[in-house]
Amino acid sequence: MLAGGLLVSETHEPVMLAEIVELFAEIPDGVLLDATLGLAGHATAILRRHSGLRVVGIDQDDMAITNAQHVKTTLGADAARFDAFRGRFDDAARTLRAVGVEHLSGALFDLGVSSPQLDVAERGFSYRHEARLDMRMNRSAALSAWNIVNEYSVDALADLLQRNADERFAKRIATAIVAARPIDTTTQLAEIVVSAIPAATRRTGGHPAKRTFQALRIEVNSELDILPGALRDVMSMVTPGGRIAVLSYHSGEDRIVKQVMRDAETDHSQPNIATPYAHPSRTAPRAWRKVRVAKTPTSDEVRRNPRAASAKLRVMQRCEVSA
Ligand SMILES: C[S@@+](CC[C@H](N)C(=O)[O-])C[C@H]1O[C@@H](n2cnc3c(N)ncnc32)[C@H](O)[C@@H]1O
């Protein structure tokens, strides 16, 4: 990723890369949407493996799109099959249609933050690096972590800590944040969270501020609110034999993905294309089925790339046209 003119995170390892490349190797020729392009690690590997695919990447982070232009120059003849556009994935259908794409052979959502967003200090995502509180994936967005930390009420803060990160000390942390205002930096916030948590629990379950930072990031970027609608919209563009794969990184995300996929699997009102039932019935063939794949990274992958530790992969396939 280009940050201040420097190419960083060249060592980035996309999560469950081999599994994801293989599951898209079987989809029909057409367009694959990478709804969370990031460093384009998955996108470029899929592009190389499947010569019948055009890959359209979307990311709301301008740095990802700048990086994609650099990536394109490294792709040789494959570059003609790769495009990247800035946008939010809940607007993906409009972005795709604007460039003439009406149908998809596949879609990938690799949710959450990218390595550069965490590693480039000034993005203000990480309790490990001193920076102004920010956490906006879209740097033109109005709401930043600074606004939430300095302007939300105790109840609103406690609610988002509970809702977005199952934080059991939500009320204590929220009260400590409001009492310590103004709070300008990531490390200042991390210290306030640590001091709000009972000493005996500070040594368990990773850094004590991890859940607070996760909860704020989700709020800043509306991550959970837009996810179900975005998945449904994109799934409605996938043609028979096509697949959707979603990598999630915490229970709140995975609950939504599981629910949307379960609804699609049991929704008999979306008839199988070859047997268009005028009156949807419980006996109509299914429009989507689950694809059984490894759900989590191997222990070897987690050793090499600890950020993969909480990943969960879910995959669905649009049912084939039946005879
Ligand atoms: C985990 S990274 C993706 C990494 C990527 N698969 C790779 O191989 O490099 C997630 C990316 O999705 C982007 N993102 C997250 N939510 C988004 C949304 N609602 N719309 C568009 N992009 C989003 C983030 O900006 C980030 O760059």
How far, in Å, from the CA of 214 to the mean position of ligand 1? 15
Residue ranges of domains in the chain: 2-116+224-318, 142-220
Task: Say whether 142-220 and 2-116+224-318 share the same fold.
Answer: no
- The two structure tokens encoding residue 239: 């043609």
pLDDT tens for the chain, residues 1 to 323: 444 433 444 567 999 999 999 999 999 999 999 999 999 999 999 999 999 999 999 999 999 999 999 999 999 999 999 999 999 999 999 999 999 999 999 999 999 899 999 999 999 999 999 999 999 999 999 999 999 999 999 999 999 999 999 999 999 999 999 999 999 999 999 999 999 998 877 767 688 999 999 999 999 999 999 999 999 999 999 999 999 999 999 999 999 999 999 999 987 665 554 444 444 444 556 799 999 888 999 999 999 999 999 999 999 999 975 43
Nearest atom in ligand 1 to 87's CA: 21
Ligand 1 pocket, 38 CB below 6 A? yes
- The two structure tokens encoding residue 154: 């105790």
Question: What pLDDT does residue 283 have?
Answer: 53
How far, in Å, from the CA of 308 to the mean position of ligand 1? 14
Best mutation site among 2, 24, 56, 60 for ligand 1 pocket (most ligand atoms within 8 Å of CB): 60
Ligand 1 pocket, 253 CB below 6 A? no
Other CB atoms within 10 Å distance of the CB of residue 84? 22
Give alpha helix (H) positions in 139-250.
145-151, 154-165, 170-180, 186-196, 210-220, 223-235
Ligand 1 pocket, 89 CB below 6 A? yes
Question: What pLDDT does residue 11 have?
Answer: 60
Architecture field, domain 2-116+224-318 = 3-Layer(aba) Sandwich (3.40)
Domain at 142-220, CATH class:
mainly alpha
Ligand 1 atom 24: the closest Cα is on which residue?
A: 113
Q: What is the dihedral of CA 294, 295, 300, 303, to 10 degrees?
A: 170
How far, in Å, from the CA of 248 to the mean position of ligand 1? 11
Closest Cα to residue 234, out of 75, 47, 87?
87
Ligand 1 pocket, 39 CB below 6 A? yes
Model's pTM, two decimal places?
0.92
Question: What pLDDT does residue 256 have?
Answer: 97
Question: What pLDDT does residue 231 have?
Answer: 98
Question: What pLDDT does residue 281 have?
Answer: 47
How far, in Å, from the CA of 119 to the mean position of ligand 1? 15
Question: What pLDDT does residue 286 have?
Answer: 75
Which residues does 91 contact at the CB level (< 8 Å), separation at least 6? none
